[in-house]
């Protein structure tokens, strides 16, 4: 099959784009800025699943050969998913991944950067003991918030600082 052959892609096919699908569509109200990764990730998974595009980030929809008749559709859908992901990211984060060629590559990079830290942050929120609500504990609350910020900062450090982060 040459690249000129036409392949019928129906609305149930993962390479189908609906007329309402366009690169500027916003699938989130607040762009991911480095905090709340778990919630951002879950929201993106739901959105991409609803649009039948989850396979672009979990490697289930593989890039076909350039001679495959679905190649152009794959490129178009991959670019659309990239646009949707970039639109859900804070500008500074988006600029660090925009040159990645596949939606799956962008997803893996964001997961690498923020995924591990989110586990630590979740563990932190579970382990926090809040001061009693009946006392005037302003100093305790300020100290608690400062400790949380330090933990969030440390959790966000890349792997080269893993020793410092553990301590």
CB 110 within 8 A of CB 97: yes
Is residue 140 in a domain? yes
The range of the structural domain enclosing residue 34 comes to: 1-115
Q: To the nearest whole number, what is the mean pLDDT of the chain?
A: 81
Is residue 123 in a domain? no
- For residue 89, list its beta bridge partners: 32
Q: Are residues 25 and 70 in the same domain?
A: yes
pLDDT value of residue 75: 97
Count up the domains in the chain and report the number.
2
pLDDT per residue over 137-151, tens digit each?
A: 667 666 767 777 776
pLDDT value of residue 3: 43
Top-confidence residue, 68 or 151: 68
pLDDT per residue over 10-42, tens digit each?
A: 988 999 998 888 888 776 678 999 999 999 999
What's the rounded Cα separation, in Å, for the pair 70 and 119? 38
What's the rounded Cα separation, in Å, for the pair 107 and 105? 5
pLDDT value of residue 18: 87
């Amino acid at each position: 099959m040459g690249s000129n052959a036409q392949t019928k892609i129906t609305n149930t096919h993962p390479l189908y784009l609906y007329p309402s699908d366009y690169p500027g569509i916003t699938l989130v109200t607040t762009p991911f800025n480095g905090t709340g990764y778990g919630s951002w990730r879950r929201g993106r998974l739901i959105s991409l699943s609803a649009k039948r595009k989850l396979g672009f980030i979990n490697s289930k929809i593989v890039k076909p050969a350039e001679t495959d008749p679905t190649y152009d559709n794959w490129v178009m859908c991959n670019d659309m998913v990239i646009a949707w992901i970039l639109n859900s990211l804070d500008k500074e984060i988006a600029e660090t991944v925009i040159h990645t060629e596949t939606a799956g590559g962008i997803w893996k990079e964001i997961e690498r950067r923020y995924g591990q830290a989110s586990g630590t942050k979740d563990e932190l929120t579970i382990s926090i003991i809040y001061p009693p609500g009946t006392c005037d504990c302003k100093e305790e609350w300020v100290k608690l918030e400062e400790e949380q910020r330090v933990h969030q900062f440390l959790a966000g450090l890349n792997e080269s600082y893993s020793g410092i982060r553990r301590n």
